[in-house]
Amino acid sequence: MYPGTYDRARPAVVTADGDTTLTYGELEENSLRLADHLRTRGLRRGDHLALLCGNNPRVMEVYWAAMRSGLYLTAVNHHLTADEAAYIVRDCGASALVVSGPLSELGSAVADLAPGITHVLNLDDGTYDAALAAASAEPPAVQPRGTDMLYSSGTTGRPKGVRPALPEGDVRTEPSTVQLLFQPMYGFDEETVYLCPAPLYHAAPLRFCGTITATGGTVVLMNSFDAQGALAAVERHRVTHSQWVPTMFVRMLKLPDAVRERYDISSMKVAVHAAAPCPLEVKRRMMEWWGPVLYEYYSSTEGNGITFIGPDEWLRKPGSVGRAGLLGELRICDEEGKVLPPGETGTVYFERDELPFRYHRDDDRTREAQHPEHPAWTTTGDIGHVDEDGYLFLTDRKAFMIISGGVNIYPQEIEDCLVLHPAVADVAVVGVPDEEMGESVRAYVEPAEGAPCGPESAAELIAYVRDRMAHYKVPRDVEFVASLPRTPTGKLAKGRLRQGSSRRR
């Protein structure tokens, strides 16, 4: 299924404020015209198209133009500096760039720094519309399938380009892997109204919006996440499906009760969450508020495997991110690559029949992601264990683990403890150099509005953790910060905190 399948008057994408609507007719015609324009500019199957846009509905025109042209689409984080964004554009090898008006200055700087870019289209200055007007909307006889080539968030280093194999077949007859996995799992169809509160340069929002427009539903697109605004959008558009990250849950839960109770969210059938681990108490409180509609999956930009868990399963297995089987089999391995039995903690691998991805122009990183004896088993560096029933429980990322006095400490559980404290708006726990212990535990806390942030407050938070978990896990100190380096998709960029801590020691 693809956009041309549906009634041309149906809304494909609407903005949360209701000001802009992109119909299926417009989506189909404009994506065909853009595909034709890119062909006239010399782009062929396997070439790369870069996208530097906010959450503009017309992003889906660019997406479908790439998907029906056999192109790799690389959506670039528009919060990056010009140098950082240009690195991605150069690295992916894009020859064309589409930008949106508010990012025109950044787009020009990126194009100057990426000499491979020979063609720039702006959604808002007339160049994009002029290109479409001069192109053909006649469907070509063959529409080879494209895919995305996205970059990791760079939370532990420079972003890595994840290059999957280019799919075979015609976009009109061959659904994407994401559609095959998620459409039956969550019941996406023409009645679906899907709220997207996250940025479209991230893998999950882009791929889910692609799936919704492949299956005839309507995407409700927020310009950026706002806790109260998201609830208002659910009520206004009678949203049936949505996708979130745990920090969004936390911020909605911290709204005053009177605000939360103001909005009717009864239309919600499926609220999907992923991208980062969700604290148990946060998920329990969301289930109490929204009912049994929370569905979770665990995957990655690499798409090397996936687990799923529904609300009823989670109540039986609290803390689990689900079972595998639809895309890869789980294998938990020790440092030498030996497969561990249920209950033992190790590195999470997914077993596949063939290598599912490569890091673009980085064979060393690709090898680091592979199992030492089974090259088709890959990992993204997460740590966890499976229980006797095959349910996966994540502990943390290997790169974030703290080793203090020879003991492994996983920051995630300390963060989960602190995040719902009323004085805490956001928190990150990292290891900092310690002459005696090797590393010690430090909590960086973004205080809630109006909350004090002096020595007494730090002592209170340390005591709060000490009352709830083993003393060796308790932060040695607390540092208050104005804001944490968290990506818009909810992931903490802990590398920046650790680097800053090292410089100050």
Characterize the bridge pairing of strands 402-404 and 407-409: antiparallel
Domain ranges of the chain: 3-220, 328-399, 401-504
Q: How confident is the model at residue 502 (pLDDT cuts 50, 70, 90)?
A: very low
H or E element, residue 188? none
Q: What is the CATH number of domain 328-399?
A: 2.30.38.10
Q: Summarize the confidence of residues 415-424 as an average pLDDT.
A: 92
Q: What confidence score (pLDDT) does residue 448 get?
A: 92
Architecture label for domain 3-220: 3-Layer(aba) Sandwich (3.40)
Characterize the bridge pairing of strands 11-15 and 218-221: parallel
Closest to 299 in 3D by CA, of 366, 362, 254, 356: 356
Backbone angles phi, psi at 393, to 5 degrees: -120, 120
Closest to 103 in 3D by CA, of 143, 50, 61: 50
What's the pLDDT tens digit per position in 344-383?
999 999 999 999 999 999 999 999 999 999 999 999 989 9
Q: What confidence score (pLDDT) does residue 501 get?
A: 54
User: Is 414 in contact with 429 (CB distance < 8 Å)?
Assistant: yes
Q: Summarize the confidence of residues 337-343 as an average pLDDT.
A: 97
**Axis-axis angle for helices 177-186, 203-214 (nearest 10):** 70
Q: What is the DSSP letter of 151?
A: B
Neighbours of 181 (CB within 10 A): 20
Q: What confidence score (pLDDT) does residue 142 get?
A: 94
Beta strands in 198-345 (DSSP E): 218-221, 241-244, 270-273, 294-298, 307-309, 329-333
Q: What confidence score (pLDDT) does residue 505 get?
A: 43
Q: What is the DSSP letter of 276?
A: S
pTM for the whole thing? Answer: 0.85
Buried b or exposed e, range 196-228, using 16+ CB within 10 angstroms = bbbbbbbbbbbbbbbbbbbbbbbbbbbeebbbe
What's the pLDDT tens digit per position in 422-451?
999 999 999 888 877 788 999 999 999 999
Alpha-carbon dihedral 410, 411, 412, 414, rounded to 10 degrees: 110
- Tell me the C-alpha distance between 182 and 45, whole Å: 26
Q: What confidence score (pLDDT) does residue 5 get?
A: 94
Token pair of 72 as six digits: 């790799």
User: Is 98 in contact with 73 (CB distance < 8 Å)?
Assistant: no
- For 298, 315, 320, 492, the CA distances from 283, given in Å and listed in that order, are 15, 10, 11, 19
- Tell me the C-alpha distance between 3 and 25, whole Å: 8
| Sign of the torsion angle spanned by Cα atoms 353, 356, 359, 365 | negative
Q: Is the pLDDT of residue 42 over 50?
A: yes
Average pLDDT over the chain, rounded to an integer: 92
Q: How confident is the model at residue 500 (pLDDT cuts 50, 70, 90)?
A: low
Closest to 430 in 3D by CA, of 447, 454, 412, 449: 412
Q: How confident is the model at residue 503 (pLDDT cuts 50, 70, 90)?
A: very low
What's the pLDDT tens digit per position in 286-324?
999 999 999 999 998 899 999 999 999 999 999 999 999
- Tell me the C-alpha distance between 304 and 164, whole Å: 10
- Tell me the C-alpha distance between 386 and 343, whole Å: 6
Q: Summarize the confidence of residues 95-114 as an average pLDDT.
A: 97
Q: Summarize the confidence of residues 166-180 as an average pLDDT.
A: 95
In SS3 terms, 286-328 reads as HHHHHCCCEEEEECCCCCCCCEEECHHHHHHCCCCCEECCCCC
Neighbours of 365 (CB within 10 A): 16
**Axis-axis angle for helices 280-290, 411-418 (nearest 10):** 50
What's the pLDDT tens digit per position in 51-63?
999 999 999 999 9
Q: What confidence score (pLDDT) does residue 279 get?
A: 87
Q: What confidence score (pLDDT) does residue 494 get?
A: 77
- Tell me the C-alpha distance between 437 and 430, whole Å: 14
Q: What is the DSSP letter of 103?
A: G
What's the pLDDT tens digit per position in 264-282?
999 999 999 998 778 899 9
Q: What confidence score (pLDDT) does residue 278 get?
A: 87
Token pair of 81 as six digits: 């500096």
Token pair of 263 as six digits: 């909005």
- 401-504 is a CATH 3.40.50.970 domain: no
